[in-house]
Amino acid sequence: MKTPYYLIHQSILEEEMDRLHMALKRHWPNSVVGYSFKTNSLPWVLSFMKAHGCYAEVVSEDEYELAEYMGFRHIIYNGPVKGKESFLRACKAGHIVNLDAEREIEWLKEAADSEETINVGLRVNFDLESMCPGEASGGEEGGRFGFNYENGSLRRVVGELEKLPGIRFAGLHLHCSSKTRSLNIYRAIAETACRICDEYKLEPDYVDVGGGYFGGLPDKPQYDDYLNVMSEILRKSFDPKRTCLIVEPGTSLICPPIEYVTTVTDVKETNRNRFVITDGSRIHVDPLMRKKSYFYHVEPMRSGEGIVKTQIISGFTCMEDDRLFQLTDAPALQCGDRIVYEKVGAYTMCLSPLFISYYPDVYLEDKGRITCVRRRWGVKEYVQGTEE
C-alpha cells in the first residue's frame, strides 16, 4: 500500500455508532440520527451511515443531490444556501427542511397551497455567547445562522408561517458550533428550545439539537452525558413520546476511526534544524492549518537509532508552514519509518485542496481484511470535465 493513505477502522466506527444509539435509547428513544455529510462525505462512509439507519444531514444542493444519489430515504435539509429547486423538492417529498433564510420564506409563499401540507422547521439563532461566555464559535460577534430569538425575528417568522396556507411549523433546529463541545452548550440548547416553545406555545414534532459532540476521547463528555443533560431539561417542556429528538453528529462519529499513514522520505540537516520530510501533508490532516497538536504514533523500520534533540516533521508541499510537529529528545527518524496520524476523519478528506498532489487512497480495515474504498486521484480524475 503506497503512502500516503487514509485507513478507516470499521470496528471503531461501529463502536461509536453503538454508543450513540445506546445513549439515545436510554435517554430519548423517540430519536433520529442525521449524519452530517459535510464532516466527511466519502461514499463508503455515507453507505455505512445509511445502513445504520442515519438520515442524511445536508446543507447544499450538491449535498442534497448526493444524498438522493446514495439512496437516502430520509434527508434533513439545513443551511442558509439551499438551492430553490432542491428546497421545493425536499418540501414536497416530506423531508425535514429547516428554514434559515428569508428567501426560503418567499419560496414557500410561491409553493403554498391549501391542498397539500408542507412541514418546515426553523433554525434558531440565539445568544449562546451570553449563556456560555467564551464558548460560542461566533464569539462576541454572535452566530450568523437562523432567525434570531432575542430581536424578535424568530417570532415574526413563526407568525408568517401561520398565515401561509398548507404550511405547518414542525420543529426547531438549534445546532451551535462551539469552541469547547462542553455540556454547557447542550444545556443552553435544551433550555432555549424549552423557552421558545413555552413562550410561543409551540408543539413541535421534533427538536433538532444538532451536532458538535466529542467522540472517541475517554476524558471528554460522552454521548450518554450529553443526552442525559439534554433529556432532563427537555422533559420539562416536551413529551418524549410526542416530540422526536434529532441529533446531527459528524466529528464524534467519523473522527475516531480514521488514520492517515505517511512515510519518511528524507532527513535533512541545516545549520538551524533537522527536518524530517514525509510524503504526507498537513493539508490532509489539518486543511485549515489550525491544529496545535496531533494524535500520532511512529512505526520505525529499525530500532536502536540514537536520540536527537529536535526533529521537525514536515509535509510534501512546498509551503514552509507544512510542518506537522516537533519531536524532542526522541530516536532519530530514518527514511522508510512510518508516521501514522490518528483520529483524523473529520473535516479532512472533504476539505483537502487539490494542491500539488491529488486525493490519496482510502482503505478500509475490517476484521484484519484491507480493501480500497477510494482509489487515489490521478491526472485522469483531475482533468475530468474540462476542455483543453
For ligand PLP, the binding residues (CB under 6 A) are: 36, 39, 57, 78, 175, 177, 210-213, 248-252, 346
- Of 262 and 348, nearer to ligand PLP (C-beta) is 348
Min separation Cβ 79 and ligand PLP, Å: 7
- The answer to whether 41 and 63 are in contact (CB under 8 A) is yes
- Other Cβ atoms less than 10 A from the Cβ of 205: the count is 15
* DSSP H helices in the chain: 10-27, 43-51, 61-69, 84-93, 102-111, 128-131, 153-163, 183-200, 223-234, 251-254, 282-285, 379-383
- The answer to whether 16 and 253 are in contact (CB under 8 A) is yes
- Of 260 and 347, nearer to ligand PLP (C-beta) is 347
- Of 100 and 361, nearer to ligand PLP (C-beta) is 100
Min separation Cβ 296 and ligand PLP, Å: 21
Min separation Cβ 341 and ligand PLP, Å: 18
> 169-185 as b/e, with b when 16 or more CB fall inside 10 Å?
bbbbbbbbebebbbebb
- Of 224 and 305, nearer to ligand PLP (C-beta) is 224
Task: Report how far residue 182's alpha carbon sits from residue 148's, in angstroms, rounded to the nearest whole number.
Answer: 23
Min separation Cβ 253 and ligand PLP, Å: 8
* Closest chain position to ligand PLP (CB): 250
- Of 100 and 337, nearer to ligand PLP (C-beta) is 100
With cell 435539509, the residue in question is: 77
Q: Would you call 262 helix, strand, or coil by DSSP? A: strand
Min separation Cβ 269 and ligand PLP, Å: 41
Q: Measured in Å, how far apart are the chain's first and last C-alpha atoms?
A: 33
- Of 210 and 257, nearer to ligand PLP (C-beta) is 210
Q: Which residues contact 152 (CB under 8 A, 6 or more apart)?
A: none
Task: Report how far residue 228's alpha carbon sits from residue 6's, in angstroms, rounded to the nearest whole number.
Answer: 34
Min separation Cβ 66 and ligand PLP, Å: 16
